[in-house]
Every structure is written in structure tokens, then in C-alpha cells.
Amino acid sequence: MVANSPTREQVWQWLSDVPDPEIPVLTITDLGIVRGVAINDDVTVELAPTYTGCPATEVIEQSVIDALQKRGVERVSISRVLSPPWTTDWISAEGREKLRAYGIAPPEQGSSKRALLPGDHAVACPRCASTDTRLVSEFGSTACKASYRCSACLEPFEYFKCI
């Protein structure tokens, strides 16, 4: 066991303070990438990458190690979980609301792969909730977002793509 071993609940609480490096209004628990916590000879945190090649994966893993070591956990290991693969359906309801309040349209929950295609669904503006929006570019500030513009309030915004 880890010296002064924290409980699984404590570790989960500490992980709920670790921000996503690309969208800092979200935590890694909001994103649903934390799949499990085990406490044995060390504290092992199971993390699912959002997609293969995500540039934030290693940063998130190091952030988890740093957050737990800051709280006195000396031995931390990370286990990457690839199955089942992460999808945007893993984002919590609270995380979706945080995205909306931050000005990013959250992905539709339970979307089919057709939702990945532009023009197949209406994206509601996070500012005025109008669905009179149009895709400006499939490429946003990060690979997981697309750029949209609202025709009602004329504001540009990003949409967190369904994966």
C-alpha cells in the first residue's frame, strides 16, 4: 500500500481539479477520460486518450502525476485505456454546460457517426441558442473543434466535434 494511502474517493476528488490543457474550463473528469483508480503499491490512474495522436495526452498524464504527488502520493502510475474508446458521449452533463457557458457548443450526446459530417445536424449557438448557424471551417483552435457562426446573433463560436 502507498504510505498515508488516500482513498479512491480522495483521488477522484483530486483528479476533478486537473484541468484539460486545451480547454481549461473542463477537468479531466468532466471529459470522462478518467476510467479508474486503483490503490496498491502505488496509485494507478487509468486514462483514456480522447483520440489517437491527441497532443494533450502526455501533458494530461503528467498533470495527473503532478497533482497527486503535490498531495503527498509518492508513487503514481498511469495506465492508458484504449477500450472501450473514448467518445464525446463520455463528457459529463456538467462538462457540457461548462463548455456552453465558456462559449463552445458542446457535442450532441448519443450522436451517430453521421454527426461527424458537416451539415447533417443543427449546431445550437452557445450564446443565444439559435440553431440558425453555419459551419465556417472544420478546423478550430484545436483538432477537436470546428468553427461556426451564428446567423441570429452574428457571433462566431467553436463546436466541440462529435467523436
pLDDT at residue 142, as a whole number: 83
Helix, strand, coil tally for the chain in percent (to 5): 25, 20, 50
pLDDT at 43: 97
The dihedral of CA 136, 140, 144, 145: what is its sign? negative
Name all domains of the chain by residue range, CATH numbers in brackets.
8-80 (3.30.300.130), 104-160 (no CATH)
How far is Cα 62 from Cα 129, in angstroms, rounded to an integer? Answer: 37
Q: Considering the entire predicted model, what is its pTM?
A: 0.86
Mean local confidence (pLDDT), 139-162: 93
Given a contact cutoff of 8 angstroms between Cβ atoms, the answer to whether 135 and 118 are in contact is: yes
Looking at every residue in the chain, the average pLDDT score rounds to 90
CB 3 within 8 A of CB 74: yes
pLDDT, tens digit, 9 for 90 and up, residues 27-68: 999 999 999 999 999 999 999 999 888 889 999 999 999 999
Closest CA to 144 of 44, 26, 42: 26
